[in-house]
Structure 1
Amino acid sequence: MGVALGTAAVLPAVEALLIFLGLGMGLAAPFVLLCASPVLLKRLPRPGPWMEKLRQFLAFPLYATVIWLLWVLGRILGESGWLIGALLLLAVTFTLWLGYNFSRIGRIIAWILMLTFLVIGYSTLTPKEKTFSKVAAGWQEYDRSLLDQALEEGRPVFIDYTAAWCITCQVNKKLVLDTPEVQRLFHKNKVLLLRADWTRQDPEITEALAALGRNSVPVYAWYPAGSREPQLLPQILQESIIADLFNEKRKGK
């Protein structure tokens, strides 16, 4: 769905509406099918205490999402980001509790406090200046001049277009790109490794993505030695995919 929505953002109005229409039909299809088939409807589990247990269980993925978003906030704002975000969540939760447990006046006070906390939180969480995330060993921050220089020298280049909020990006880093085996492959073949962090949608990186015909991450651009045309790799990486880049190079020789 993320890829479809990203594509719809850059398509003409008619094509974009068709994508949203297809998504809506897909989401509605199970309900239409159940309504059209009484037999299937009867096979649904009956209401009971299990529904409350399921509702409580589904809260845990939401807790995990909050933890992940606080981590992303820390990547954007620095070490204090997660603390500010957690305090804001505590304040909002307290005002909800206040409004639920007290009279009408208490609810009015709770809403006033809620709006006050949100305004203060928004002004506090808005970065006043650009912050840079740490780049893992072996990688360099994306810089167009570094890319141009490497291409001029005929050196191979691998660009990782990533973002802190992109789960696929983080999985690919941990399982493939930042592993010792893959790093040894890159080092052995003298590959320039550039990491383009799009967490805050940097305009330079946005322009680079647009030049590749992309408007979302992850994107993995591979420039073989002596080539100025990038090869775009799959969004789900495997170690064998990286190894094949250099196997093809040796076969070509």
Structure 2
Amino acid sequence: MADLTTGYRRVTVVGGAMAPTLGPGDRLLVADVAPAEVHDGDLVLVDVPEFVGDSGSLAIKRVLGVGGDRLSCCGGPGIRRNGSALAEPYVRGATRTFDLTVAQHHLFLLGDNRPDSVDSQYPQLLRDRSNGTVPDTAVRGRVVWASTGAVAGPEAQRVSDLMLRSAIGVVLTLVGVIALPTTLVLSSRRRRRPSPRSPRSRSCRVRLARWDRREGRGQRGLRGFRAWRRAIRAAAIRCRWVRNAGRSGTG
């Protein structure tokens, strides 16, 4: 069966920087995305070596700001973007203090587990040490589905529907594989059953039974026995003809 998730990149989460939204072992599907299509709030797969240290792997972060956004935070859990407070029920821990404007073609990225995430909160760790933003060309894809259901939206719903249809297809295939041999066995057994004999063949058997050996031996002498034997043969031939005719449907 075709893989209905073909075209997406499969990623398994390592580490707890995105907890409680994502945790180690969670499975993700990541779709290719152009830098201009990245929006605030997206979960993105980024290639920023400073975010992951020496592991050389990619990182999952949340986009808090795109080019032109004004961001500020005063050390508490609340962040203001362009003057409006952001509702972030997914955040764990406090966010560090910052006040900046995101440069064009750059992104401000944070992990949801703020105390345990290396991200734009630490500009001193990045090549661009001015404000912690990273070029949008570092994005390698946008997360469109998570095994935990943490990602919502039309594309996530579409992927879930595709997976559900794929699972139903697998179940139906297994049912067919199991049911086919059973059907063949039952059909074979039906074919082996003898066809019902016609009433004429049944009556023929009754007549043949009457000519048993005791009755034949009861005849007088050799002549009587020969007459019994001829009658038996005639009755047997008649029964075979009636039985064969009944099977062919000619009566």
Shared fold (TM-score greater than 0.5)?
A: no
When normalised by structure 1's length, the TM-score is 0.17
When normalised by structure 2's length, the TM-score is 0.17
Instruction: Kindly name which structure, 1 or 2, has the bigger radius of gyration based on alpha carbons.
Output: 2
Give the number of the structure whose residues are more often strand, by fraction.
2
Give the number of the structure whose residues are more often helix, by fraction.
1
